[in-house]
C-alpha cells in the first residue's frame, strides 16, 4: 500500500500540563543549532522592501510550500511515547500570574499567521506559524522545514517574515522580519524530521492596518506632500456644486464645473458637423473607403512609432505591432475620420486629494500586539488538542478543497502510539486525524485552549501530512514530540533580544 506524506505545519500536544515556568531538565548546549536570517538592520530593511513594495504584491504571489522531495511512501506504527525528562511548560503571554481555564472552542487565536519566505529555488512560499511566549515577546514557532530548505543542503531560506492575521495582502498587525532561527542540531545537520521544528526571533513589526494605504487630506497638505499622491474626481449634483461654491465664496479646488460635449455621429453635410479622428485597428481601417466620404466616415491618418521592447510587449491598444527588418519594435496607429454633431453639457465635480505615505513605521513587539501561546514539553499522548493553519495545496488525487485565504482548524485526540517514517528518519511522531493539505505547515497544536482568551500551550508543530489509507486524500497530520531537548532549544531562543528596525 502506498503512503504519501508532505510537510504541513502544526503541533502535537497533550494534557497534564504542569506548573508554569521553564521547569524541566535542559539538554546539552550542543543540541542547539542557530542560524542568522536577517542578521543586520540593512538586510532586514531589504526584506521589508521586497515584501511590501507595490502594495505587498509579493505576499499575494507566494504559494503554499509543498515540495515533492518531502513526500515519502512507507510509514508504520510504533510503541508508546516515553518522556526523556519531567513535563514542563511556559505560560502564554498575559497568563504569567493567572490560572489557565479548561475550556475548548473554535475561536481562532490572534497569534497565528503565515510565514513567508523565498526558497533556495528562488520561488516564494508560505507556511503557517504562531507567536509564542518569550522574554522579549519576539518569538515565532513553526516547522523546521519552513526555515531550513531540505532540498538545498538544508540551508536557511531567504527573506523570512511572519505576518499574524494575514489576509489577502493585508498585514493587520504588521510584518515581522526573522532575525535568528533556532532548531535542533539533528535537523540542521542530518535532516532528522523527529526535530522538524524551529523557533525564530523577529524584529519589531513594520506597518500595521493602514500601512501603505491612501489617506485623504486637504488640498494644502496634498500640495506640501513630496511622496506618492493622487486625486480623485467625484461627480456631484448641480445643487451640491452651488452649495460648495457659496460656502467657499466661489469655485475652489474641491468643487468645480467642467464643460463638456455629447457627440453623435452624422454625415459630413450635416449643418455645423465637426470632423474628428478615431483610432481603429488595421482591419477596420482597411474596411473604410479610401479618400472619400461614405456613410459619414473615410480613411484618415496613419503613423508609426518606435518603442522599447517592454512597451512593445505591454501594448494592448488597437495599433498594429511589428518588429521591422532592422529589429526595431514598432506600433502603427490607424485613424478613421468621423463627422459628428455636438451638444453642450456641464459636469459638476468634487476633487478629493490623497497621499500614500510609504515610510516605515514601527508597530512594536510581536507579543505585545497579538499575544503569545504558551509552550509545553514531555506531555503524555492521547490528549484532546486543537490545531490551526492555512491549508491550500491539493490532495494527491488533485482535489483542492482549501484556498489558504483563511485559517482552518482540527480537533481531536492525538493517537496513543507514535508514528514511524524511516525515509525521513522519523522514529517518534505523534499524529492526529485531520484532512488538511499543504500550507498547514508550522501551525500550532494547542493544549488546554481557552475559549475566552484564545490561548493555550504549543507542544509541537505539524511536520507531515499523510494519506494513510491510500485513497488519494490526506487524512492525518504528524508532529515532532516536544521533549527536554526541545525545551533547551526553546529556552535558548526565548532569551534572545532582536530589536527594532525603525528608530
Task: Tell me the pLDDT tens digit for each residue of 30-80.
Answer: 789 999 999 998 899 899 989 988 778 899 999 999 754 444 445 555 555
pLDDT of amino acid 79: 54
Sign of the C-alpha dihedral, residues 80, 470, 437, 37? positive
**pTM, two decimal places:** 0.67
Identify the H or E element spanning 216. strand 215-217
Give tens-digit pLDDT for 171-218.
999 999 999 999 999 998 888 899 999 999 999 999 866 666 678 888
CA distance 445 to 460: 6
**Domain spans in the chain, listed from the N-terminal domain onward:** 4-212+360-494, 244-344
**Mean pLDDT of the region 278-303:** 70
Burial of residue 288 (CB within 10 Å: 0-12, 13-18, 19+) is: middle
* For residue 439, pLDDT beyond 60: yes
CA distance 279 to 411: 62
Give tens-digit pLDDT for 303-330.
888 888 888 988 999 999 999 887 888 9
Q: Which of 14-28, 270-284, 442-456, 457-471 has the lowest mean pLDDT?
A: 14-28
pLDDT of amino acid 484: 92
Amino acid at each position: 500500500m502506498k503512503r504519501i506524506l508532505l510537510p504541513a505545519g502544526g503541533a502535537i500536544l497533550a494534557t497534564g500540563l504542569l506548573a508554569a515556568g521553564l521547569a524541566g531538565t535542559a539538554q546539552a548546549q550542543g543540541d542547539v543549532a542557530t542560524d542568522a536570517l536577517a542578521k543586520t538592520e540593512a538586510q532586514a530593511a531589504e526584506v521589508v522592501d521586497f515584501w511590501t513594495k507595490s502594495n505587498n504584491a509579493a505576499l499575494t504571489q507566494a504559494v503554499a510550500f509543498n515540495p515533492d522531495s518531502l513526500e515519502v511512501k512507507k510509514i508504520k506504527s510504533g510503541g508508546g511515547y516515553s518522556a526523556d525528562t519531567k513535563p514542563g511548560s511556559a505560560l502564554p503571554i498575559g497568563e504569567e500570574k493567572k490560572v489557565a481555564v479548561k475550556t475548548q472552542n473554535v475561536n481562532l487565536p490572534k497569534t497565528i499567521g503565515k510565514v513567508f519566505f523565498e526558497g533556495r529555488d528562488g520561488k516564494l512560499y508560505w507556511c503557517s506559524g504562531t507567536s509564542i511566549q518569550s522574554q522579549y515577546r519576539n518569538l515565532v514557532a513553526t516547522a523546521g522545514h519552513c526555515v531550513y530548505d531540505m532540498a538545498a543542503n538544508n540551508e536557511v531560506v531567504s527573506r523570512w517574515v511572519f505576518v499574524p492575521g494575514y489576509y489577502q495582502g493585508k498585514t493587520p498587525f504588521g510584518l515581522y522580519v526573522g532575525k535568528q532561527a533556532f532548531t535542533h542540531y539533528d535537523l540542521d545537520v542530518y535532516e532528522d524530521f523527529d526535530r522538524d521544528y524551529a523557533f525564530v526571533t523577529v524584529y519589531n513589526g513594520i506597518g500595521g492596518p493602514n500601512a501603505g494605504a491612501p489617506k485623504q487630506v486637504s488640498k494644502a497638505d496634498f500640495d506640501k506632500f513630496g511622496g506618492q499622491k493622487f486625486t480623485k474626481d467625484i461627480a456631484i449634483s448641480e445643487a451640491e456644486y452651488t452649495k460648495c461654491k457659496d460656502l467657499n465664496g466661489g469655485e475652489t479646488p474641491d468643487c468645480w464645473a467642467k464643460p463638456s460635449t455629447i457627440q453623435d455621429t452624422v454625415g459630413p453635410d450635416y449643418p455645423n458637423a465637426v470632423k474628428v479622428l478615431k483610432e481603429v485597428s488595421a482591419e477596420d481601417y482597411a474596411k473604410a473607403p479610401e479618400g472619400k466620404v461614405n456613410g459619414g466616415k473615410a480613411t484618415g491618418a496613419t503613423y508609426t512609432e518606435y518603442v522599447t521592447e517592454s512597451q512593445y510587449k505591454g501594448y494592448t491598444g488597437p495599433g498594429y505591432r511589428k518588429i521591422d527588418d532592422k529589429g526595431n519594435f514598432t506600433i502603427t496607429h490607424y485613424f478613421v475620420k468621423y463627422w459628428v454633431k455636438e451638444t453642450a453639457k456641464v459636469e459638476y465635480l468634487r476633487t478629493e486629494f490623497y497621499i500614500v505615505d510609504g515610510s516605515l513605521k514601527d508597530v512594536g513587539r510581536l507579543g505585545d500586539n497579538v499575544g503569545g501561546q504558551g509552550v509545553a514539553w514531555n506531555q503524555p499522548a492521547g490528549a484532546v488538542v486543537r490545531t490551526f493553519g492555512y491549508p491550500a495545496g491539493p490532495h494527491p488525487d488533485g482535489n483542492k478543497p482549501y484556498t489558504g485565504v483563511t485559517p482552518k482548524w482540527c480537533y481531536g485526540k492525538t493517537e496513543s502510539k507514535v508514528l514511524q517514517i524511516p525515509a525521513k528518519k522519523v522514529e517518534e511522531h505523534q499524529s492526529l486525524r485531520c484532512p488538511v493539505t499543504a500550507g498547514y505547515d508550522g501551525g500550532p497544536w494547542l493544549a488546554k485552549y481557552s475559549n475566552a482568551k484564545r490561548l493555550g500551550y504549543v507542544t509541537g508543530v505539524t511536520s507531515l501530512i499523510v494519506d494513510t489509507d491510500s485513497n488519494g486524500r490526506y487524512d492525518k497530520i504528524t508532529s515532532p514530540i516536544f521533549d527536554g531537548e526541545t525545551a533547551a532549544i526553546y529556552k535558548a531562543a526565548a532569551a534572545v533580544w532582536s530589536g527594532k528596525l525603525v528608530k
